[in-house]
Structure 1
Amino acid sequence: MTRRRAAQLGVAAALTIGLPLSLTSTQLAADAAPAPSSAAFRQAVTVGGVLQHERVLQRIANRNDGSRASGTPGYDASAAYVAKRLRAAGYDVRVQNFTFPKFTENAPATLTQDSPVATDYETETFEYSGSGTVTGPLTAADGNTVPVTAAPGETNAGCSVSDFDPAPSEDAVALIQRGTCSFGEKAQYAQEAGYDAAIIFNEGQDGRTDLPGGTLGEPGDIPVVGLSYADGAALQEQLEGGAEVVMTVATDTSFDPDAQTSNVIADTRGGDRDRTLVVGAHLDSVDGGAGINDNGSGTSTILEIAEEMAEAGVKPRQKVRFAFWGAEESGLLGSEHYVDSLSDRALSRIVANLNFDMVGSPNYVRFVYDGDGSDTDPAGPPGSAQIEELFVDYFDSQDLASAPTQFSGRSDYGPFIAVGIPAGGLFTGAEGVKTPEEAAIFGGTAGEPYDPCYHQACDDMTNLSTAALSEMGDAAAHAVLRLATTRTGFFEDGSFRQATRERTAAQDFDNHGNHAAR
């Protein structure tokens, strides 16, 4: 990475005075000092620096069976690299080790109708599904509705044991429609009713027609697979027509309850520890790929910001904690472990969490987490709206459009907002499909995924937009600098936190990590 000492000295001089957050008129009036520009710091944080880290992560994956997943040597080497760079930059670094339940799909699931007509179906294994092959009669859960009539998420099928007829044979398969309760609950109730395997088909509304792609949330005992709405509806109609349908469900999975992994946590030496800003990105990939966009892009971006803050001599008023989370792809387990490990006093010191997960998608949109909930539900805890405004105002100042994205529980902000800590961050899109309206505003290709290699082996160095890395990296650098050096907090009295914080239930999210939970 090229370092320009003259530029560094200019950055350092600009940053020795505190930057007011300048998010509301009240705060502007309360803070007499003018707000210098973050331009010098943004110039120091470069795409070249980000790509240098990305290339190292790619080499690590290449040497470790193409993966950097938690619980593998590829992840351990990634964590060692990040920790070494941060120590060299002068941060106080600790590696927080923890165990986690590692689920592995050893082979793709298969789903076959044996009678009355032999048919093979496209299917997928639910995360934490049990392993095995089951052949038996298919029985529909009460509440399956074809065609669907409920609003999304409101079909109430398989949400209690009483929704299932007693299993008709020793080996029996349940057919359940997605809806109100979690996938894990549906599978559990089917098992309690005597079924040996479960097929969960999608609900049927817009956005809920393909394979559901979900998690059971915790290890299950029976094979559980997904099915599209069209295929599930066809099976439901056969059963309603009186057909005796026999299915074979086959999954091949394994589970290690005591897999080892870690978080890498690095603190600035300066800054008030009673006002700590946590800047996070998950470090792990999925088992099947190097994870260069997901989430090498977020990891490399905040590592570049951390190194440039140190080289520029930034004097933060708040302590800044850069966190590189493990086991996000297993369900936000690293960030959950970190939050759960903190006392109430330690949690109260955290003023905000910034999260950067996938900021280099090839067919990107500049998404900002919807802190105030004005476009999507739910809103984040108090203070989240001001973080959203900070990002949106920055993009506006650069004549760049942005769009809101939901706090859905898909990334590591989840454990923080669940305990009432304000959160925000950036995202450039995953498996979702770019709309014509988005293409008109942001460019790219309508009808194609934001990231065509999401959770695949092709998520490598060729799967990055340098334009996205540049634009999102500048926005991230701007926000980290402002929040690290501001004199005034999120609230009208200038404080950084409310007297009390309201905790929310993590299970209220529709997603747990990158998998749908219901």
Structure 2
Amino acid sequence: MPSRPRSRLVLAAGIALLLVPGLASPPARADAAGGDPGLALGWERAVTTGGLLRYARQLQEISDAHGGDRAAGTAGHDASASYVARILTDAGYQVTVQTYDFPVYSSRPALRPVGTPWPEPGRDFSVMHHSPAADLAAPVHPVDLTLPPGPVPNTSTSGCEAEDFTGFPAGRIALVQRGTCNYRVKALNAAAAGAVGMIAFNEGQPDRLGPLLGSLSGPGVPIPVFSAGYALGARLAERRPVVGLRTDAVTETRPTSNVVAQTGTGDPDEVVMLGTHLDTPAGSPGLNSSGSGSAVLLELAVRLADLRPPHAVRFAWWSSHAGYASGATHYAYTLPPAEVDRIAAYLNADSLASPNHVSGVLDGSGHRPELAGRHGRGGAAVADSARIERLLRGYLSRNGHGAVEVALSGRFDSHPFAVFGVPVGGLFGGAEGIKTRREQRMFGGRAGAPYDPCHGRACDVVAHLDPEPLTLHAEALAYTAGVLAARPAGPGRE
């Protein structure tokens, strides 16, 4: 990174109200970060439910016209990217389409019993991205499992150390549990111990029960690796049956593209950035998983195109998120260091219209090691990320809604920006995880059921979206982005 001192985006000073043309002045309200009343409420007032659903319907039509999805590397995604670029160009933005190659992995997994009655695993069983092909049968052997599960995520360290496999009988299928380290580490340890395959299952806390989707972070693991939900994994651990694992596997490289648009005005050395992913899983229209965030960013970009905030604002629609090769990661790692340093804050939008939703705010408290950063900006990034979290929580609270903290992790496109020390935040409405009783008391809905039962499935269509959390989350992001984009920056301006 450049050696010049970085001026921090300060969130504690007062600013003048930003107004969208044609809107009356809203009543004054205090900002969560403790600044003057009446902050950037014009951005919030610009959001309309009708506009959000209109963009969602357009993405639905594109999915329908291209085989039912908008997966990266397909004509459906290319059409989506072209649509977004056209809307933004017409709105007067400087639009960049960043084309890049990414690995596409496809497979059809199967688990079959060998001499033992066994229920059909269905959606509770899948193959890890970048697993090699397999057709084998062997006994299952548990490896350092934590059953029953610990009280909090990452209690389990199953498979993370070579010592976990001490005494492992070669020629068996290693059964490991989610937690602590990534699946590639677990798989390489299993292979070194003589395992012929590996099954990783979910850890077992309330939000870690369902089908486990995962990636080996690229090809090169020598054994096939499969994944399972907690219930199936616990059953395998108890019975230790002989099971058959079979999958074909194809990895190929395809081109895809990110779409990035920036305002032509505002300080380009202190850019406020909002991002979401545009691509969908194969076979799913993805109207909540990617379409909700994409619609929110389109609505904000078009509605706010005529504003002249002091800081430049950049919107991004990422590709290849569903393929575990995030376009956000490609963008962050290929951006020149001086340009990364100009990103003052990044806000992420993901699954904002879940029918059994929560209002999840990405953790900016500094408890996550990702926020340490790699370029000497860790302390400032943690402090400003915490302020972004307070802005989002404060907005939700003032409007009568609670929030739950969501750990910053690699599943979110904010992760690569946090790695580079950029202050991050964002909202997540829930996906394949299971709603807890506490969350039911906070947000309504149904405890014990997925936040989004159609996540990754063909039923993730416009009619499946819940307009109420979609609008609420859009307004919270609009308000927070407005505060950030209007805030004077510079050392000492607390």
Coarse TM-score class (shorter-chain normalised): 0.7 to 0.9
- Superposition deviation, residue 368 in structure 1: 1.9
- What aligned pairs does 1:12-161 form with structure 2 within 5 A after superposition? 24-25=33-34, 28=35, 36=38, 38-105=40-107, 107=108, 109-115=109-115, 117-119=116-118, 122=121, 123-135=125-137, 137-138=138-139, 140=141, 143-144=144-145, 152-160=153-161
What 5-or-longer segments of structure 2 have no aligned partner? Answer: 1-18, 372-380
Question: How far does the alpha carbon of each residue in 1:307-366 deviate from its partner, in whole angstroms, 9 at most, with x for none?
Answer: 0111xx211111111111111112352111111112222111110001111111112222
CA distance in 1, matches of 2:297, 2:474: 8
Q: 2:263 aligns with which of 265, 268, 275?
A: 268
CA distance in 2, matches of 1:203, 1:211: 11
8 A contact 1:158–1:164 mirrored in 2: no
8 A contact 2:270–2:312 mirrored in 1: yes
Give the aligned partner of residue 281 of structure 1.
Answer: 276
Give the aligned partner of residue 189 of structure 1.
Answer: 189
Q: 2:353 aligns with which of 347, 352, 360?
A: 360
**Alpha-carbon distance change, 417 to 114 in structure 1, aligned in 2, over 3 angstroms:** same
Over the aligned positions, Cα root-mean-square deviation in angstroms equals 3.1
CA distance in 2, matches of 1:229, 1:72: 33
**Alpha-carbon distance change, 334 to 479 in structure 1, aligned in 2, over 3 angstroms:** same
8 A contact 2:128–2:213 mirrored in 1: yes
Question: How far does the alpha carbon of each residue in 1:88-142 deviate from its partner, in whole angstroms, 9 at most, with x for none?
Answer: 000000101111111123x2x2222324x3545623212222222112x326265
Length-normalised TM-score, structure 2: 0.84
**Alpha-carbon distance change, 324 to 236 in structure 1, aligned in 2, over 3 angstroms:** closer
CA distance in 2, matches of 1:75, 1:440: 38
Give the aligned partner of residue 254 of structure 1.
Answer: 250
**Alpha-carbon distance change, 272 to 192 in structure 1, aligned in 2, over 3 angstroms:** same
Give the aligned partner of residue 415 of structure 1.
Answer: 416
Moved more, 474-483 or 39-48: 39-48
CA distance in 2, matches of 1:125, 1:148: 23
8 A contact 1:127–1:215 mirrored in 2: yes
CA distance in 1, matches of 2:327, 2:480: 24
Give the aligned partner of residue 242 of structure 1.
Answer: none
CA distance in 2, matches of 1:51, 1:367: 21
CA distance in 2, matches of 1:391, 1:225: 37
CA distance in 1, matches of 2:382, 2:67: 41
8 A contact 1:369–1:406 mirrored in 2: yes
8 A contact 1:133–1:223 mirrored in 2: no
Give the aligned partner of residue 499 of structure 1.
Answer: none
8 A contact 1:361–1:429 mirrored in 2: yes
Give the aligned partner of residue 513 of structure 1.
Answer: none
8 A contact 1:38–1:478 mirrored in 2: yes
- Superposition deviation, residue 150 in structure 1: 9.7
Secondary structure of the residue that 1:487 maps to in structure 2?
Answer: coil
Give the aligned partner of residue 4 of structure 1.
Answer: none
CA distance in 2, matches of 1:255, 1:42: 44
CA distance in 2, matches of 1:196, 1:389: 48
Q: 1:334 aligns with which of 327, 335, 345?
A: 327
CA distance in 1, matches of 2:365, 2:457: 33
**Alpha-carbon distance change, 488 to 212 in structure 1, aligned in 2, over 3 angstroms:** same
- Superposition deviation, residue 406 in structure 1: 2.0
User: How many corresponding residue pairs?
Assistant: 461
8 A contact 1:271–1:317 mirrored in 2: yes
- What aligned pairs does 1:422-433 form with structure 2 within 5 A after superposition? 422-433=423-434
Secondary structure of the residue that 2:454 maps to in structure 1?
Answer: coil
Matched, 1:316 2:347: no
**Alpha-carbon distance change, 103 to 164 in structure 1, aligned in 2, over 3 angstroms:** farther
Matched, 1:494 2:490: no
**Alpha-carbon distance change, 149 to 24 in structure 1, aligned in 2, over 3 angstroms:** closer
8 A contact 1:20–1:488 mirrored in 2: no
- What aligned pairs does 1:464-483 form with structure 2 within 5 A after superposition? 464-483=465-484
The AA in structure 1 aligned to 2:213 is G
Length-normalised TM-score, structure 1: 0.80
CA distance in 2, matches of 1:349, 1:14: 32
Question: How far does the alpha carbon of each residue in 1:475-508 deviate from its partner, in whole angstroms, 9 at most, with x for none?
Answer: 122112221122246x7x227xxxxxxxxxxxxx
The AA in structure 1 aligned to 2:217 is G
- Superposition deviation, residue 262 in structure 1: 0.8
Matched, 1:295 2:290: yes
8 A contact 1:430–1:451 mirrored in 2: yes
What 5-or-longer segments of structure 1 have no aligned partner? Answer: 1-6, 29-33, 240-244, 496-518
Q: Which has the larger radius of gyration?
A: 1
CA distance in 2, matches of 1:39, 1:132: 56
- Superposition deviation, residue 37 in structure 1: 5.1
8 A contact 1:371–1:384 mirrored in 2: yes
Q: 1:10 aligns with which of 1, 22, 43?
A: 22
